[in-house]
Amino acid sequence: MAIKLHDSLTRETRELRPAQPDGVYRFYNCGPTVYAAAHIGNFRTFVVNDLLRRLLELEFGPDKVRHVRNLTDVDDKTIRRSREEGRPLGEVTRRWTEKFHADCAALNCLPPHDEPRAADPRFIREQVNMIDVLLEKGNAYRAADGSVYFKVSSFPGYGTLSRVKERELRPGSAFTADADEKEDGSDFALWKAWKPDDGPNKWPGPRGSAEGRPGWHIECSAMSKALLGPTIDLHTGGVDLLFPHHENEIAQSQCCNGTTFAHHWYHSEHLLVDGKKMSKSLGNLYTIDDLKAKGFSPMALRYALLSGHPRKQLNFTLDSLYVGAKALQRIYNALDQACQRTGMAPDSFLEVLKPISIEELISEGYRTHFRYSWLALCDDLNTPNAIGEFFVGIHALETNNISTESIRFEVCCALSILRALGLDITASVAAKADVPADIAALAEKRWAAKAAKDFAAADTLRKELTAAGWSMLDRKDGYSLELLKK
Ligand code: AMP
Ligand code: ZN
């Protein structure tokens, strides 16, 4: 069962296959600019990329996937931040890189195999070498101030990815920005000559040009080539990168290397907050820390981010985090209680049972509910369908609709889907342990009152729990406790 994914270049949904004879799938995804904490919109893109990485590994095997994601650690924003703080650029970007790594780990995102930095001297050299080739081939030119620009008219294929030729050229758009030194409004910077605002951040440039720093687009072309070779299998990013960033990457790479840059392009859509674009001025820009301060776990956020189709805009609300937390707890309880029916000790299933392999999961010989969840993921990352199918399986376990002999197998299948989605339900055990003893005692009393059909007492005890900030969710064979909204 191959993974099918929409290709932004051909606008077709195509199967993913490694193109090179070594069978290694080469996957590049544009990483963060490290000048502040990434927001939850950025993390939607990184979580979707992590899902892709997981699916690729499950499909081709972990040693047959090579994942590279860059760090943009030199550009206007990082330099401005370093100058505002009066700290060296490297110190500032290191701090935000560490924060980014910590947030990725909290969201259970696998680290890429390589994470090159644009300002790493090795990769500055790679970028300069690439610009030298583009100058030699006549695809680039030096401007009067010593900057180097890419000559868009030298690449007839320009605009194929974004259909930019169909767009209107507006003054001040990304297409025409920083036009002062250019021969043509659509040309873009490969190398930016040093300006006083850049402070001490400068490197020797391509032949015949001034000291300065690389333009943003060239880093991805040069670093993906250095680490994955001139042709990659899949290149991804958020939809805002389609133009001009990815269009420019294609132009630079294909003119320099004379070969296809990426066989497949994938762009995930943006996260909106309360129906609006996220921005500091609207006060709707959240980081992982902002959500943690409100009592939400990063895993509830991962669930919420996966609940929408990655190629459709997703409207984030705080309520979606309650839904996420509740769903994770429900999954944990369903699996735990089903396992207890087979004689396993409470809270032991995650230690005893392991995810089943995908081959076994989809094998026609088995009729597990969870195979449809995997099939939905392989169908252009249809995460809402995958989650829906997953809950059909969970419901079957909850309602004891599965023979005792099959329960453990079904739980292993569920674990396999959770691994593919990167949803770590062990966090639900921690959440369980976090219930204070007096609240746990009140809940036990209420459960006993309900069992004894003393509904008046059960109601009073529920009110006490609510007043203490807890909600009790009843099921046929047990209950769970959750912190109420503040
Ligand atoms: P940046 O650090 O600005 O380069 O962005 C890192 C990644 O986040 C890029 O792939 C962007 O396309 C993506 N991104 C930026 N804003 C959003 C958003 N609101 N929703 C989803 N992805 C976003
Ligand atoms: Zn990039």
- The answer to whether the beta carbons of residues 217 and 188 sit under 8 Å apart is yes
Per-residue model confidence as pLDDT tens digits over 270-297: 999 988 988 777 778 999 999 988 888 9
| Cα distance between residue 441 and residue 444, in whole Å | 5
Give the nearest ligand 1 atom to 42 CA: 8
Rounded average pLDDT over 352-358: 95
pLDDT at 365: 72
Q: How far is the CA of 45 from the centre of ligand 1 (A)?
A: 6
Atom 12, ligand 1: residue with shortest CA distance = 238
Joined together, the tokens standing for residue 128 give 């300069």
pLDDT at 176: 47
Q: How far is the CA of 266 from the centre of ligand 1 (A)?
A: 14
Per-residue model confidence as pLDDT tens digits over 144-183: 999 999 999 999 999 999 997 655 444 445 544 455 678 9
Query: Residue 52 — pLDDT band, cuts 50, 70, 90?
Result: very high
Judge if pTM exceeds 0.75: yes
Give the nearest ligand 1 atom to 72 CA: 4
pLDDT at 477: 60
Task: Among the bound ligands, name the one nearest to the CA of residue 46.
Answer: 1
- Which of 101-105, 277-281, 333-337 has the least mean pLDDT? 277-281
More confident residue, 269 or 475: 269
Query: Residue 430 — pLDDT band, cuts 50, 70, 90?
Result: low
pLDDT at 476: 60
Question: Is pLDDT above 50 for 121?
Answer: yes
Rounded average pLDDT over 184-200: 96
Q: How far is the CA of 442 from the centre of ligand 1 (A)?
A: 45
| 458 Cβ contact list (under 8 Å, min separation 6) | 446, 449, 450
Q: Of 33, 40, 45, which is best to mutate to test ligand 1, by the most ligand atoms within 8 angstroms of its C-beta?
A: 45
Q: How far is the CA of 72 from the centre of ligand 2 (A)?
A: 9
What percent of the chain has pLDDT above 90? 79
Give the nearest ligand 1 atom to 31 CA: 6
Question: Is pLDDT above 70 for 229?
Answer: yes
Rounded average pLDDT over 304-315: 98
pLDDT at 1: 72
pLDDT at 171: 45
Ramachandran region, residue 299 (left: φ > 0; alpha: ψ -120 to 50; beta: rest): alpha
Q: Point out which residues pair with 470 in neighbouring strands.
A: 483
- The answer to whether the beta carbons of residues 435 and 469 sit under 8 Å apart is no
pLDDT at 253: 98
Within 6 Å (CB) of ligand 1, which residues are found? 30, 32-33, 41-42, 44-45, 237-238, 240-241, 270-271, 278
Atom 8, ligand 1: residue with shortest CA distance = 42
Atom 15, ligand 1: residue with shortest CA distance = 42
| 265 Cβ contact list (under 8 Å, min separation 6) | 7, 8, 9, 161, 234, 235, 236, 246
Rounded average pLDDT over 353-381: 91
Q: Of 52, 104, 240, 306, which is best to mutate to test ligand 1, by the most ligand atoms within 8 angstroms of its C-beta?
A: 240
Give the nearest ligand 1 atom to 44 CA: 21
User: 244 preceded by cis ω (within 30°)?
Assistant: yes
CB < 8 Å & 24+ apart, contacts of 223-227: 223/68, 223/70, 223/116, 223/118, 223/123, 223/126, 223/127, 224/28, 224/68, 224/253, 225/126, 225/130, 225/253, 225/256, 225/257, 226/116, 226/122, 226/123, 226/126, 227/66, 227/68, 227/114, 227/116
**Average pLDDT in the chain:** 92
| Cα distance between residue 303 and residue 313, in whole Å | 16
Rounded average pLDDT over 235-249: 97
Q: How far is the CA of 123 from the centre of ligand 1 (A)?
A: 23
Rounded average pLDDT over 409-426: 96
- Which of 14-28, 115-129, 284-298 has the least mean pLDDT? 284-298
Task: Among the bound ligands, name the one nearest to the CA of residue 223.
Answer: 2
